[in-house]
Structure 1
Amino acid sequence: MTTAIKTARIYHDHHHDPAHAQVSLDYDGRFLRRKMLATDDGESFLVDLAHTKSLDHGGVLVLEDGREIEIIAAPEELLEISGDNLLHLAWHIGNRHTPCQIETDRLLIQRDHVIRDMLLKLGAEIQEVVEPFTPEGGAYGHGRTHGHAH
């Protein structure tokens, strides 16, 4: 007996009812249009959105039968940046179009040895961490930032 693959064609930023399942994706994996995925408990499904979309932590994909699959930001390898002048460091990160999670006392970016070396020369304190990554959106608070090689 063959089981038909369920398809999610709808995405929205939040849900009200408990989700049917969860899918954990890293930052790069949360940017998609069409892709086979599996929930955290192993149920395969196809994402087939009309346009490429950045899926947010806590957002949901809606399957054809109405069930919702919650998006979870998966832990990934990051650099935690701190130091006396976080604003200065954040400016340099942004000037390189590098996605950045901005918090009161630290910045988080994906691991990149070139950016790491630059930040160390600017006096940053850097630690390698593994945790979910939910960087700021692009212009006007939504969308993705892109490097120079769009």
Structure 2
Amino acid sequence: MSGAERAIAVARQAGAGAPDHVRLDYEARFIRRKRLVSAGGVSVLVDLPETVSLDHGDALVLESGAHLGVIAAEEPLLAVTGGNLARLAWHVGNRHTPCRIEEERLLIRDDPVLARMLEGLGARVAPVRGPFAPEGGAYGRGRTLGHSHEH
């Protein structure tokens, strides 16, 4: 793994002024150890102490102290609209599907099975492209890896 820069930490919302960046989709932003190539062609070995969910605008901190910006890549999504958005959101959440909740629509990753289910519930479902940044989990920052109800 020689010749690669090493990313050892994450700086939240510190990527805006970074001189270089990586563009990652939702799945690729869930990371602990992986080799990436930046937009500028720099090979980077991400070697974090634990798995993290990166957000658009975060930065990977390199051993040198430099920051590598993180940009959420565009990907295929479904825009879900309908008369009872709260009910539709409940059905999406009941299937443990990551979802971006906006005032007028829900955004989910492109999934034909969920699209048919939602249309069966009266939703209008339209394909769109964009960066995917779903709601974070109730049990911590970013994605919910699981939770316990024990005290």
**TM-score, normalized by length of structure 1?**
0.90
Structure-2 separation of matches of 1:138 and 1:113: 24
The question of whether the paired residues in 2 share the 8 Å contact of 1:101 and 1:108 is answered with: yes
Q: Does residue 139 of the first structure (1) align with residue 138 of the second (2)?
A: yes
TM superposition shift of 1:127: 0.6
Q: Which residue of 2 aligns with 1:74?
A: 73
Q: Which residue of 1 aligns with 2:34?
A: 35
Q: Does the C-alpha gap of structure 1 residues 145 and 9 become closer, same or farther in structure 2, counting only changes over 3 Å?
A: same
User: Letter of the aligned partner of 2:118 in structure 1?
Assistant: L
- CA RMSD of superposed structures (Å): 1.7
The question of whether the paired residues in 2 share the 8 Å contact of 1:99 and 1:145 is answered with: no
Q: Which residue of 1 aligns with 2:126?
A: 127
User: Letter of the aligned partner of 2:61 in structure 1?
Assistant: V
Structure-2 separation of matches of 1:142 and 1:120: 31
Q: Does the C-alpha gap of structure 1 residues 95 and 47 become closer, same or farther in structure 2, counting only changes over 3 Å?
A: same
Q: Does the C-alpha gap of structure 1 residues 16 and 27 become closer, same or farther in structure 2, counting only changes over 3 Å?
A: closer
TM superposition shift of 1:12: 2.1
Q: Does the C-alpha gap of structure 1 residues 117 and 35 become closer, same or farther in structure 2, counting only changes over 3 Å?
A: same
TM superposition shift of 1:20: 2.1
TM superposition shift of 1:42: 1.9
Identity, % of aligned positions: 52
SS across alignment from 1:144: coil
SS across alignment from 2:9: strand
Q: Which residue of 1 aligns with 2:51?
A: 52
Q: Which residue of 2 aligns with 1:108?
A: 107
Q: Which residue of 1 aligns with 2:97?
A: 98
Deviations 1:74-115 (A, max 9, x none): 000011111111111001000100000111111110111111
The question of whether the paired residues in 1 share the 8 Å contact of 2:35 and 2:44 is answered with: yes
The question of whether the paired residues in 2 share the 8 Å contact of 1:38 and 1:44 is answered with: yes
SS across alignment from 2:86: helix
Q: Does the C-alpha gap of structure 1 residues 18 and 143 become closer, same or farther in structure 2, counting only changes over 3 Å?
A: closer
For structure 2, list consecutive stretches of 5 or more residues without a partner in the other structure.
147-151
The question of whether the paired residues in 2 share the 8 Å contact of 1:97 and 1:146 is answered with: no
**TM-score, normalized by length of structure 2?**
0.90
SS across alignment from 2:69: strand
TM superposition shift of 1:41: 2.5
Higher helix share: 1
Q: Which residue of 1 aligns with 2:17?
A: 18
